[in-house]
Amino acid sequence: DIQMTQSPSSLSASVGDRVTITCQASQDISNYLNWYQQKPGKAPKLLIYDASNLETGVPSRFSGSGSGTDFTFTISSLQPEDIATYYCQQYDNPLLTFGGGTKVEIK
């Protein structure tokens, strides 16, 4: 199975700050990488697919980059409504795997 290592596991930032989360795959997954947002008590929501493509309706302050084994997710200007846990997920292998999650809080 492909292991996904996400960091940090949690972070605290101020409104307006740039926030960056990294995700590393245990093997080359090309660009087969998604990012999801999960708010407390809610189902996850797809934000980015194919490493860098923004899902329809998702604000442009969210972005993703990377290929191969190293990927980055960025919130360009953190907003109060962005408080959530973010997960990366690979789909290069049909046995899908998620990263451990990054909990984003407001400082």
Partner 1 sequence: EVQLVESGGGLVKPGGSLRLSCAASGFTFSSYSMNWVRQAPGKGLEWVSSISSSSSYIYYADSVKGRFTISRDNAKNSLYLQMNSLRAEDTAVYYCARDSSGYLGVVDYWGQGTLVTVSS
- Kindly indicate which of the ranges 10-18, 61-69, 71-79, 81-89 contains the residues binding partner 1, using the contact rule CB under 8 A: 81-89
Choice between 33 and 75, CB closer to partner 1:
33
Position among 22, 63, 74, 97 found at the interface with partner 1 (CB under 8 A): 97
**DSSP, residue by residue, 39-66:** -TTS--EEEEETTTEEPTT--TTEEEEE
Q: For residue 44, state whether it binds partner 1 (rule: CB under 8 A).
A: yes
Choice between 49 and 71, CB closer to partner 1:
49
Q: For residue 37, state whether it binds partner 1 (rule: CB under 8 A).
A: no
Closest to 38 in 3D by CA, of 89, 1, 76: 89
Q: What are phi and psi of 105, to 5 degrees?
A: -125, 160
Closest to 10 in 3D by CA, of 84, 82, 64: 84
Smallest gap, in angstroms, from Cβ of residue 107 to partner 1?
A: 23
- Kindly indicate which of the ranges 14-22, 58-66, 70-78, 82-90 contains the residues binding partner 1, using the contact rule CB under 8 A: 82-90
Closest to 70 in 3D by CA, of 103, 21, 37, 104: 21
